[in-house]
Amino acid sequence: MESKVVGLLGGGQLGRMFLEAANRLNIKVNVLDAPNAPAKQISNHDGHFDGSFKDPEAVKKLSKTCDVVTVEIEHVNTQVLEEISGEVAVEPSWKTIRTIQDKYAQKEHLQKHNVATAESLPLESNTVEELEKVGQKLGLPFMLKSRTEAYDGRGNYPVKSSSDFEGALKALGQKPLYAEKWANFKMELAVMVVKGKDQVLAYPAVETIHEDSICKLVYAPARNVPSSITKKAQELAKKAVSCFWGKGVFGVEMFLNQDDSLLINEIAPRPHNSGHYTIEACPMSQYEAHLRAILDLHLDEEGVQPYRPSVMLNILGGASPQSAAEVAKKATEQSTALRVHMYAKGDARPGRKMGHITVLGSSMAKAEGLMKPMIDVVDEVRRSRTDIPAPSSGSSEPKTKQTKALVSILMGSYSDMPVLDAGVQILEKLGITYETHITSAHRTPEWMGEYVASAAPSGIKVIIAAAGGAAHLPGMAASHTYIPVIGVPVKPTIGDGTDSLLSICNMPRGIPVATVGINNSTNAALLAARILGVAEDEIAESIRDYAEGNRKEVMEKEAKMQQLGWKGAMQEWHAKK
Amino acid sequence: MESKVVGLLGGGQLGRMFLEAANRLNIKVNVLDAPNAPAKQISNHDGHFDGSFKDPEAVKKLSKTCDVVTVEIEHVNTQVLEEISGEVAVEPSWKTIRTIQDKYAQKEHLQKHNVATAESLPLESNTVEELEKVGQKLGLPFMLKSRTEAYDGRGNYPVKSSSDFEGALKALGQKPLYAEKWANFKMELAVMVVKGKDQVLAYPAVETIHEDSICKLVYAPARNVPSSITKKAQELAKKAVSCFWGKGVFGVEMFLNQDDSLLINEIAPRPHNSGHYTIEACPMSQYEAHLRAILDLHLDEEGVQPYRPSVMLNILGGASPQSAAEVAKKATEQSTALRVHMYAKGDARPGRKMGHITVLGSSMAKAEGLMKPMIDVVDEVRRSRTDIPAPSSGSSEPKTKQTKALVSILMGSYSDMPVLDAGVQILEKLGITYETHITSAHRTPEWMGEYVASAAPSGIKVIIAAAGGAAHLPGMAASHTYIPVIGVPVKPTIGDGTDSLLSICNMPRGIPVATVGINNSTNAALLAARILGVAEDEIAESIRDYAEGNRKEVMEKEAKMQQLGWKGAMQEWHAKK
């Protein structure tokens, strides 16, 4: 298809998945890495090179066989890349790789381009005195980091107080270091960015969960993060990548802080663990995106829109060399919904990335449910390890799941609660998540409008609003949103409720309210369920079950009436009264 | 993960995609085929064999290196498979492959097991007299077919009248032949079936479009086929596969006849062109399913449920050797939503299967729209070919698309039409498909119930029902379905419509009707759109556009009032009246 040949430095799992994409498009990739490296195992031609991807001579030899040289790892020799770049394309540019290799230089570069990132200071000497100075400038705690050759948390040391100074220097003191202001984040996000010839595209902002400083889980898209923030994250990631040179995909990791601000944590100039989910979840995987970017093939937004929400779980080595294969085996036994990727790296060293599992769900809750048993399996494997010094710190523990509400129930005052309770009970019974709010069309018009407008972006699918008398809440809610609004007329103290019903039902053309019977929140809830059932098979299923229950109840009453006869039934009815 | 080794006879495109699945699970597959066969290109180890997969000695050598032997093509030597089956597992069984190889024996076997298939007769001699006899028994036209070595339409000859007898014998007379009763089908369907150790699973029934007797397009699921029929197709396919021996995936091709009956056309004991879509569209691809089946790995229903509707288009060779690569290139330029698979077979001979493209859509219409430009491209390539004798016959032309309705509009009589017209116009404006029906809760209670119950299974997502007076239709419709029902109260000749409104709105607890204002079909349509928008982003988008239009209209009126002043505006209003 494409006659250009790609040269790849490194043939680990990222290289292997890159080769999968290249194979499908029939594009030749020559790999430089050790014999039988994971990527080489799925590419059978005589263009590969055995050797270290850091060896200048080997890199030069590889470069003579291809049209563009790229990397699956940033810890390469950028001197030789600079040298060969006169004769062959190097993507992304050696300048980008060199800047990113040195984490402090990376941060400095971002700050120079006004990209939000944690305040950082280089250490002039690896001494206790220098750490004291840094502590005064950045405050304590701060994070001490190796400027180079750091990945998967290796090279990071949290300095919580001055008593940590000596330990930190002992751990990292052999390397050039820098210090980073402590990030008070509530969540870690990541965005894969594609930098092509003339455009920059962002995949969704995903939520990453780290454990022992290694990526454990990826939720795509990030859970419970409003779209206003995920959009900001995508923009920040694009801005960050745009200030580097050359083409390719970039993994951008960032912190979402307590105040909802975002800070770039670090950038990888290559496919990234946080983008594995794209293989199944998006039309264009991050690997195909990298290939398209470096070969100047067409790029557009279609490919980065996910089909469905997904969860990715890493398979790390445990205590035994077979541990990862055992996890994979369990995944294949668990469910055929789980897509298992094994990297064929040989023995599973503790903590080594051996494979991953991706699952897509019709909803994030469905995907989470499918993955849950495998999280338990990898947690068990982790507990068997003896190489982990201590339980990981709070911030890297998996967050407890907050279930996102699908239905929002609005009422003008507490007094509407008894009317709505029956509906709430139906939602509970059907397993439909909901939230309830007091907001009045007349007494809090701004808050009502603001809340309703933000409901859909935050994941609400249907609104139920109850009101009595001059019942304006459902209609006003419908005016502030485009999702279905169900109106429950509440019978007022004076009158039979027809006023409420007509106030809700007779809306002007253009703004519909789905009106149910007076005080009938049961039907409002069931209608919400039917509406959600259009998108969610599981909910449709539970409505059928519920209806079947009702049908049975009536049929049982009928059977009883026939059994007791009219008089007997009448008697029983009086007795129960 | 799995320590068993698989031996594969044949390393073409099906073998290649099988290797993709095996590579991800780190399962070793030894391939017997010519050097550099497509499958071998993506599997770099020393266990492969060069040679013909029909060569008994080569097959025996291969069998000594593996735990289970399987096939990617049925035209293998079943004598040697029978011979080795004492020492190594052969999946599916050599008996299955032998029976299926001979198409007449295949049909006979199916008929023996009461599986519906076209009436067939073996030819006792390849003579005109014999064809006359056959013609008398089966009627004319009939299909003359080679019993063996037939695929992609090679070996088929349509005998339309006795004047075709000599031509048919000239074309096929060197082979053992049989005749098949002419199938008067309206559509061709196919189902991939997984036969495991102790279960049989069916992927969805898909629609296949053939051109020049070769598969051109696959629509998954089949378009405009009610689920009652697709379910029957899945059951028939499972029944057919169940009567064969051994494990693996099977491609089952069938005819959907004019009278909605189904007949098996033929069965392939291996992954199949009609199942390529599963790579992207299902959690478990047909290739992984084959692997799981032959290795006794776990199987369940999760993996065969598609994420989204999809369309698959084959890339066939055209007039020039580069034609297929050019199509692939155009596909990559067209949209990153298109997933391109090239088989790396070398030069594109006319009509040779060189690759395929799959696209998933949030709806089938979306997927069709994304694929359309590529259908035009392959049609152009086909027109350039000089090897095709004549334009293909009617039945193999792509069907014109019938768009499936999402909304059903019900009314008791013609007189309700003027009230509903405004709503229909809104649906048209928003591009929402609909159908309209006359059905009365009181005058046609059975037909009403029957229609409504079948609406959801045939793809309807929302019902709008209009009624006046003792307005029972919306409520009765809601009782026969679990999808949302919107009620439009119609103002009767006598009364102001409050009777209609209350009859619709005040439903018993348990059966909700979303009631809108009297005669307000506009709001009924907009509410239907909001409901559909929960599942379909595109519809949500068009509602927003519509609302924006309304907002602008009001703002323009306000601007005009400020410009003209009260008196001027009042004057203009009188003038327009």
Q: Domain limits of chain A? A: 6-90, 103-118+185-387, 119-182, 407-535, 547-577
Record: contact A336-B302, CB cut-off 8 A: yes
Query: What does the alpha-carbon distance between residue A54 and residue B131 come to, in Å, rounded to a whole number?
Result: 73
Give contacts of B511 with chain A, Cβ < 8 Å.
523, 526
Query: What does the alpha-carbon distance between residue B449 and residue A6 come to, in Å, rounded to a whole number?
Result: 63
Q: Is A266 exposed, middle or buried (0-12, 13-18, 19+ CB in 10 A)?
A: buried
Query: What does the alpha-carbon distance between residue A397 and residue B25 come to, in Å, rounded to a whole number?
Result: 29
Q: Is A120 exposed, middle or buried (0-12, 13-18, 19+ CB in 10 A)?
A: buried
Query: What does the alpha-carbon distance between residue A394 and residue A564 come to, in Å, rounded to a whole number?
Result: 65
Interface test with B, best of A49, A332, A548 (most B CBs within 10 A): A332
The model's pLDDT over A364-399, given as tens digits with 9 standing for 90+, comes to 888 999 999 999 999 999 998 888 764 444 343 333
B184-396 classified as CATH 3.40.50.150: no
Query: What does the alpha-carbon distance between residue A424 and residue B518 come to, in Å, rounded to a whole number?
Result: 29
Compute how many other C-beta atoms are within 10 angstroms of the C-beta atom of residue B23: 24
Query: Which of B26, B360, B543 faces A342 most closely, judged by CB atoms?
Result: B26
For A76-100, what is the mean pLDDT? 96
Query: What does the alpha-carbon distance between residue B155 and residue B389 come to, in Å, rounded to a whole number?
Result: 16
Q: Is B213 exposed, middle or buried (0-12, 13-18, 19+ CB in 10 A)?
A: middle
- In this predicted structure, the answer to whether residue A215 has a pLDDT above a threshold of 60 is yes
Interface test with B, best of A286, A333, A505 (most B CBs within 10 A): A505
Q: Is A432 left (phi over 0), alpha (psi -120 to 50) or beta?
A: beta
Query: What does the alpha-carbon distance between residue B323 and residue B499 come to, in Å, rounded to a whole number?
Result: 69
- Between residues B522 and A562, the one the model is more confident about: B522
Categorize the per-residue pLDDT at B556 as very low, low, confident or very high, splitting at 50, 70 and 90: confident
Give contacts of A520 with chain B, Cβ < 8 Å.
506-507, 509, 512
Query: What does the alpha-carbon distance between residue B169 and residue B166 come to, in Å, rounded to a whole number?
Result: 5
Interface test with A, best of B30, B332, B504 (most A CBs within 10 A): B332
Task: Report the predicted TM-score, pTM, of the whole model to 2 decimal places.
Answer: 0.72
For B397-420, what is the mean pLDDT? 75
Give contacts of A296 with chain B, Cβ < 8 Å.
none
Categorize the per-residue pLDDT at B395 as very low, low, confident or very high, splitting at 50, 70 and 90: very low
Query: What does the alpha-carbon distance between residue A287 and residue A22 come to, in Å, rounded to a whole number?
Result: 8
Q: Is B254 helix (H, G, I), strand (E, B) or coil?
A: strand
- In this predicted structure, the answer to whether residue A403 has a pLDDT above a threshold of 80 is no
Record: contact A510-B522, CB cut-off 8 A: yes
Interface test with B, best of A310, A482, A483, A536 (most B CBs within 10 A): A482
- In this predicted structure, the answer to whether residue B392 has a pLDDT above a threshold of 80 is no
Beta bridge partners of A515: A487, B515
The model's pLDDT over B469-495, given as tens digits with 9 standing for 90+, comes to 889 999 999 988 989 999 999 998 888
Query: What does the alpha-carbon distance between residue A177 and residue A223 come to, in Å, rounded to a whole number?
Result: 34
User: What's the confidence (pLDDT) of residue A392?
Assistant: 41
- In this predicted structure, the answer to whether residue A419 has a pLDDT above a threshold of 80 is yes
User: What's the confidence (pLDDT) of residue A368?
Assistant: 92
User: What's the confidence (pLDDT) of residue A364?
Assistant: 87
Categorize the per-residue pLDDT at A156 as very low, low, confident or very high, splitting at 50, 70 and 90: confident
Residue-wise over B126-163: b if at least 16 C-beta within 10 A, else e?
A: beeebbebbbeebeeebbbbbbbebebeebbbebeeee
For B92-111, what is the mean pLDDT? 96
- The token pair at B428 is 């048209």
User: What's the confidence (pLDDT) of residue A159?
Assistant: 92
- The token pair at A537 is 């098979």
Q: Compute the nearest-CA separation of A170 from chain B (Å).
A: 40
Record: contact A325-B461, CB cut-off 8 A: no
- The token pair at A353 is 């990335």
Compute how many other C-beta atoms are within 10 angstroms of the C-beta atom of residue A114: 9
Query: Which of B308, B510, B533 faces A483 most closely, judged by CB atoms?
Result: B533
Record: contact A512-B516, CB cut-off 8 A: yes
Pick the CATH number of A407-535 from 3.40.50.1970, 3.90.320.10, 3.40.50.720, 1.20.1050.10: 3.40.50.1970
Record: contact A328-B511, CB cut-off 8 A: no
User: What's the confidence (pLDDT) of residue B559?
Assistant: 82
The model's pLDDT over B292-304, given as tens digits with 9 standing for 90+, comes to 999 999 999 999 9
User: What's the confidence (pLDDT) of residue B400?
Assistant: 36
Lowest mean pLDDT among A33-47, A398-412, A447-461: A398-412
- In this predicted structure, the answer to whether residue A284 has a pLDDT above a threshold of 90 is yes
Q: Give A537's DSSP letter.
A: H
Kindly state which CATH superfamily the domain A119-182 is placed in.
ATP-grasp fold, A domain (3.30.1490.20)
Query: Which of B422, B462, B501 faces A505 most closely, judged by CB atoms?
Result: B501
For A547-552, what is the mean pLDDT? 82
The model's pLDDT over A200-209, given as tens digits with 9 standing for 90+, comes to 999 999 999 9
Query: Which of A308, A339, A515 faces B516 most closely, judged by CB atoms?
Result: A515
Query: Which of B41, B498, B515 faces A516 most closely, judged by CB atoms?
Result: B515
Q: Are strands A248-257 and A200-202 parallel, antiparallel or unpaired?
A: unpaired
Contact predicate B84/B71, CB 8 Å: no
Phi then psi dihedrals of residue B79, to 5 deg: -60, -50
The model's pLDDT over A492-530, given as tens digits with 9 standing for 90+, comes to 888 889 989 998 998 888 889 999 999 999 999 999 999
Query: Which of A302, A505, A533 faces B515 most closely, judged by CB atoms?
Result: A505
For B84-100, what is the mean pLDDT? 97
- Between residues B570 and B33, the one the model is more confident about: B33
Record: contact B332-A44, CB cut-off 8 A: no
The model's pLDDT over B230-245, given as tens digits with 9 standing for 90+, comes to 999 999 999 999 999 9
Q: Compute the nearest-CA separation of B109 from chain A (Å).
A: 32
User: What's the confidence (pLDDT) of residue B461?
Assistant: 93
| Fold agreement between B6-90 and B184-396 | no
Which among A535, A531, A512 has a CA at the least distance from the CA of B463?
A531
A6-90 classified as CATH 3.40.50.2300: no
Chain B: residue whose CA lies nearest to A482: B530
Pick the CATH number of A103-118+185-387 from 3.30.470.20, 3.40.50.1370, 3.20.20.80, 3.40.50.2020: 3.30.470.20
For B84-90, what is the mean pLDDT? 96
